[in-house]
């Protein structure tokens, strides 16, 4: 697949089959991520590949976070919401948690470290698409919860940036319109 075609045709794929992708393909996705541009070559990315029962463990953490602050009687009334949270990682055969460990070097800006990992995620998404895999970058409040940091043994300065849900697509997402470039670009010559 040509790069321009991959960029224009890649879509977030929210529904994938239960079939486990060849782990060699998942390694190619991760390999593409680690080639992202990175100021000062700190390589701040960290990836956690969750398969099988590891996805259940992640689901338990999501349910804990969802239930946080609920009284016991609310939990029984909201059992369906807790179960939905618990089952989120089970919707796909492969979950890749993406984290950033910012450099301690005072010359390095933390935002640049986060941007480098985000660029790696884009490389991963494009590569997954080119390999015939479906993927979506999932984020949201539970991603940034302290309990999630604890689950992944992340340090105080580390951040979890989201989850790549990966599998073989079971739907083909529709193309979504983009605002014309003229509304998003200003050309300056002085």
Angle CA 176–179–184, to nearest 5: 145
Determine whether the annotation assigns residue 138 to a binding site.
Answer: yes
**What are the pLDDT digits (tens) for 67-123?**
887 777 666 668 888 899 999 999 999 999 999 999 999 999 999 999 999 999 999
Distance in angstroms (rounded) separating the CA atoms of residues 30 and 34: 7
Can you tell me whether residue 97 is helix, strand or coil? strand
Q: Are 143 and 85 a contacting pair, CB within 8 Å?
A: no
- The reply to whether 17 sits in an annotated binding site is no
Domains in the chain with CATH codes: 3-51+89-168 (3.40.109.10)
CB 148 within 8 A of CB 65: yes
pLDDT number for residue 79: 83
Q: Is the pTM of this model over 0.85?
A: yes
Binding residue per annotation — 11? Answer: yes
Residue 39, annotated as binding a ligand:
yes
pLDDT (tens digit per residue) in 21-55:
999 999 999 999 999 999 999 999 999 999 999 99
Burial 72-105 (b: 16+ CB within 10 A, else e): eeeeeeeeeebeebbebbebbbbbbbbbbbbbee
Q: Are 154 and 68 in contact (CB under 8 A)?
A: no
Cβ-based burial of 186 (10 A; exposed 0-12, middle 13-18, buried ≥19) = exposed
34 annotated ligand binder: no
Q: Is 9 annotated as a binding residue?
A: no
């Amino acid at each position: 697949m040509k790069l321009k075609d991959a960029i224009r045709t890649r879509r977030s794929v929210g529904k994938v089959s239960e079939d486990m992708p060849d782990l060699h393909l998942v390694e190619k996705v991760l390999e593409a991520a680690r080639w992202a541009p990175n100021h000062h070559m700190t390589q701040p990315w960290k990836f956690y590949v969750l398969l099988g029962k590891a996805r259940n463990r992640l689901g338990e953490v999501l349910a804990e976070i969802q239930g946080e602050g609920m009284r016991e009687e609310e939990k029984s009334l909201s059992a369906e919401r807790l179960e939905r949270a618990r089952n989120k990682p089970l919707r796909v055969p492969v979950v890749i948690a993406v984290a950033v460990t910012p450099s301690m070097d005072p010359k390095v800006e933390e935002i640049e470290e986060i941007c480098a990992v985000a660029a790696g995620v884009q490389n991963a998404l494009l590569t997954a698409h080119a390999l015939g895999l479906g993927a979506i970058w999932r984020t949201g409040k539970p991603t940034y919860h302290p309990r999630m940091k604890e689950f992944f043994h992340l340090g105080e300065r580390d951040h979890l940036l989201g989850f790549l849900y990966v599998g073989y697509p079971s739907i083909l997402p529709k193309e979504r319109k983009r605002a014309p470039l003229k509304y998003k670009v200003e050309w300056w010559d002085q």
